[in-house]
């Protein structure tokens, strides 16, 4: 897979996304101290507020920043209108705050927050589509970007309908729409984006080669069909389509795991660094959540559902994002700040730009926090849950400290 840095946007455009995302990560963890896990519910206003702060403020913010960099690099074309990214993050920031506050204090703000988020995401989706349009021939990675952004757009539509229903503006079946909204955003956008970008990032950072792309191709199409199936089931009220979507999604993840395994086994770089540890914990969390998901389909309980969500959000998504930040940020800073100095003066290695000792503390505290927190949620123990949050909060502080160190490295 060819990767060219000739079309990369300036780092000053990307940095705010990563910094704001890291700040929201700390905030989202701090908010958890106010939760009472013994009376927590998946549809509580506090839970919904936290989920949107975490997903929009942290996950989406970081992904948008990464995609601003990776899309033109992978497609080998310049952005259609790169300056639009200076507008996207302020709008997403404002919309996230309005939605987070709206769920817990003022439902009337939800449509307004939703509209602001919708505008920011529509700008992102439109700019991405117009950038892709400049490409003459789509490969698998480009197709994954196109599909992921299509799912994001559809997820936005369902989200706006839910926000209007939650505020009492229109009458809709929020529970049915929620399934489609969650699956379109998490499975369709986040899931497909991670799978597609794995084709670029993992072989690049591990120097892997000579392996087949077929497993991830099967994974992408299985996931896409599964997401569409769940979306249609929400509209048609079909249990068969809903469970078909779940099964196809699990099959997709099995193919994806096998692809990761083959990439890992063909790697040249054998460094046991924070990137490797983060990915191992991330994929381990995904496997555990899948096993729990199968159990939930057989014997559903609220605590089990909350535990699955916890492990997926804080274990899988958080660690795969934070792990990649330790690779992406040093590379972007090095390329912009030090690459022009090659041959003129001594420049640092990429490994020199990562605060390894601090990164290990970040990993240990965060991993311990996720594990202890999951135990607390599963058994309904508030004390154990709060202990896990304490560890996770310390880990989040280390993460933002490490991020600023890498960004300001000179």
SS (H, E, C) 80-108: CCHHHHHHHHHHHHHHHHHHHHHHHCCHH
Question: What whole-number distance in Å separates Cα of residue 184 and Cα of residue 196?
Answer: 16
The b/e string for 331-350 (b: 16+ C-beta within 10 A; e otherwise) is bbbbeeebeeeeeeeeeeee
Does the model's pTM come out above 0.75? yes
Cα-to-chain-centroid distance, residue 20: 14
Q: Which residues in the chain land under pLDDT 50?
A: 1-3
Q: How far apart are CA 6 and CA 284, in angstroms?
A: 36
pLDDT for position 302: 86
Q: Tell me, rounded to whole angstroms, the distance of Cα 275 from its chain centroid.
A: 16
DSSP annotation of 33 reads: G
φ and ψ at 211, to 5 degrees?
-135, 160
* Segment (H or E) for 173: none
Q: Spell out the domain ranges in the chain.
A: 1-136, 272-335+347-405
pLDDT digits (tens, 9 = 90+) for 194-247: 888 877 777 777 777 777 888 888 999 999 999 999 999 988 888 899 889 989
DSSP H helix total and E strand total for the chain:
15, 0
CA atoms of 60 and 386, how far apart (whole Å) = 26
Instruction: Kindly report, residue by residue over 114-148, the tens digit of the pLDDT.
Output: 889 989 989 998 998 888 888 777 777 778 888 99
pLDDT score for 2: 47
- Residue 167's pLDDT is 67
* Rg of the chain on CA atoms, in Å: 20
């Amino acid at each position: 897979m060819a990767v060219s840095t000739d079309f990369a946007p300036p780092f000053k455009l990307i940095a705010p996304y990563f910094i704001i995302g890291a700040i929201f990560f700390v905030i989202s963890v701090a908010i958890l101290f106010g939760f009472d896990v013994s009376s927590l519910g998946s549809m509580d206003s506090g839970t919904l507020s936290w989920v949107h702060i975490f997903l929009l403020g942290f996950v989406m913010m970081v992904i948008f920043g990464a995609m601003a960099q990776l899309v033109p690099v992978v497609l080998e074309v310049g952005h259609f209108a790169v300056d639009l990214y200076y507008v996207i993050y302020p709008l997403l920031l404002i919309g996230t705050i309005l939605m987070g506050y709206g769920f817990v204090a003022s439902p009337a703000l939800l449509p307004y927050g939703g509209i602001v988020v919708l505008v920011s995401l529509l700008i992102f989706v439109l700019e991405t589509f117009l950038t892709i349009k400049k490409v003459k021939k789509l490969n698998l990675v480009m197709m994954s970007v196109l599909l992921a952004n299509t799912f994001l757009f559809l997820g936005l539509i369902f989200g706006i309908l839910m926000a209007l229903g939650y505020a009492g503006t229109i009458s809709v079946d929020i529970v049915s729409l929620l399934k489609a909204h969650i699956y379109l955003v998490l499975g369709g956008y986040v899931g497909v984006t991670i799978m597609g970008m794995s084709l670029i990032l993992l072989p690049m950072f591990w120097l892997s080669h000579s392996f087949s792309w077929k497993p991830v191709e099967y994974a992408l199409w299985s996931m896409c069909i599964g997401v569409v199936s769940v979306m249609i089931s929400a509209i048609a009220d079909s249990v068969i389509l809903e469970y078909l979507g779940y099964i196809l999604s699990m099959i997709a993840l099995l193919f994806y795991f096998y692809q990761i395994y083959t990439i890992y086994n063909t790697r040249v770089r054998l460094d046991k660094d924070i990137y490797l540890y983060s990915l191992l914990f991330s994929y381990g969390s995904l496997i555990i959540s899948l096993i729990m998901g199968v159990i939930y389909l057989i014997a559903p309980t609220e605590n089990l559902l909350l535990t699955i969500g916890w492990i997926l959000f804080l274990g899988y998504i958080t660690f795969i994002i934070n792990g990649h930040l330790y690779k992406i940020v040093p590379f972007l800073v090095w390329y912009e700040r030090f690459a022009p100095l090659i041959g003129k003066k001594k420049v640092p290695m990429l490994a020199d730009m990562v605060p390894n000792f601090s990164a290990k503390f970040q990993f240990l505290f965060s991993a311990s926090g996720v594990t202890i927190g999951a135990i607390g949620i599963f058994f309904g123990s508030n004390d154990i849950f709060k202990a896990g949050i304490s560890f996770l909060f310390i880990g989040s502080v280390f993460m933002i400290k490490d991020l600023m160190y890498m960004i300001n490295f000179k």
